[in-house]
Amino acid sequence: MSNRKLVAGNWKMHTDRSEAIKLTTEIIRLSKMSDVEILLAPPHCLIPLVGNLIADLPYIELAAQNISEHKSGAYTGEVSAHMLHSLGVSYVILGHSERRKYFGETDQIILSKIRRAISTELKVIYCCGEGLEDRNTAIQNKIIEAQIQSSVLQLTPDQMQDIVIAYEPIWAIGTGVTARPDQAQQMHAFIRSILADHFGEQIAMQVPIIYGGSVKSNNAQELFAQADIDGGLIGGASLDAESFVAITEAFE
């Protein structure tokens, strides 16, 4: 168990201007300061708007859903890490299975984005997760180990201070099928053991490992009670202020 607790709302490609204002305002109204870091990851174009609304609240921070792997230049349509950092963004979600699947992001691209983020003072929520077929053939540990090996194990111990790992089994994303708490715990403990073997116990214990995949207000408490689950990366339920805030309060 890391000593940090963190719940992030990944809004994906949802909300427009007025919906984002309403959702953020409601989250601000319902949430209270605690030792839980709350992150909101709206679509890029709504980041300044959401950022202005949460400006006075130190316990709510901004995350981006993507960055360009390039520093700057002639890359039409891309958004750089520096642009987002200059708007007050502190985290970026990288390695999400939707980016891997729909946008062809390879391990190599993801690693170069991780490096770009860290060198631009953005912290990274690195997502890993196995598919249903992998789980059914019991090769989930191999898949996760390969993902961790190609990403965070390439970093220096110092850079690990900027890393949060999100375990998001693909079969649990947006399906309503949550991993059982013991299944999630097993994988989180496995991820922590990989970090301990490579970086040592101290760093392994510092890195928050959060769970994502159909987390709702009625299952968050059981998940967050597991020894190696330090919070959640929330999709669907983060679009409802009441559900999202309830999830941020689901720690013992």
Catalytic residue among 96, 98, 105, 130: 96
Interaction residues for ligand 13P, span 112-171 (CB under 6 A) = 168
Q: Is 235 in the site for ligand 13P (CB under 6 A)?
A: yes
List the structure tokens of 227.
């020894």
Q: How many residues bind ligand 13P (CB under 6 A)?
A: 14
- Residues 123 and 121: their CA atoms lie apart, in Å, by 6
- Could you say whether residue 184 binds ligand 13P (CB under 6 A)? no
What would the two tokens of residue 114 be? 């991780």
* Token output for 162: 């900027």
Burial class (CB in 10 A: 0-12, 13-18, 19+), 137: exposed
* 198 catalytic residue (yes or no): no
Q: Which of 212, 220, 243, 245 binds ligand 13P (CB under 6 A)?
A: 212
The alpha carbon of residue 67 and the mean position of all alpha carbons in its chain are separated, in whole angstroms, by 14
Q: Count of residues for the chain?
A: 252
Q: What is the CA radius of gyration of the chain?
A: 17
Least distance from ligand 13P to the Cβ atom of residue 14, Å? 10
Applying CB under 6 A, does 208 fall inside the site for ligand 13P? no
**Residue among 57, 106, 108, 174 that touches ligand 13P (CB under 6 A):** 174
Residue pointed to by tokens 């999400």? 96
Options 234, 241, 245, 247; binder of ligand 13P; rule CB under 6 A: 234
Q: Name the one residue in this structure whose structure tokens are 């994303």.
A: 173
Going by C-alpha positions, the residue among 112, 208, 113, 217 that lies closest to residue 166 is: 208
> Which of residues 207 and 232 has its CB atom nearest to ligand 13P in the complex?
232
Active site residue 96: yes
Q: What is the DSSP string of 174-188?
A: TTS-PPPHHHHHHHH
User: CB under 6 A: which stretch of 28-36, 83-91, 110-118, 234-242 binds ligand 13P?
Assistant: 234-242
Q: What are phi and psi of 228, to 5 degrees?
A: -110, 15
Among 20, 160, 173, 191, binds ligand 13P (CB under 6 A): 173
Q: How far is the CB of 64 from ligand 13P (least distance, A)?
A: 13
Give burial (CB, 10 Å; 0-12/13-18/19+) of 101. exposed
**Does residue 10 belong to the site contacting ligand 13P (CB under 6 A)?**
yes
Pick 204 or 229: Cβ nearer ligand 13P: 229
Would you say 68 and 81 are in contact if contact means Cβ atoms under 8 Å apart? yes
Residue 213 contacts ligand 13P per CB under 6 A = yes
Please say which residue, 11 or 199, places its beta carbon nearer to ligand 13P: 11
Q: What are the catalytic residues? A: 96, 168
Which residues bind to ligand 13P, rule: CB under 6 A? 10, 96, 168, 173-174, 212-215, 233-237
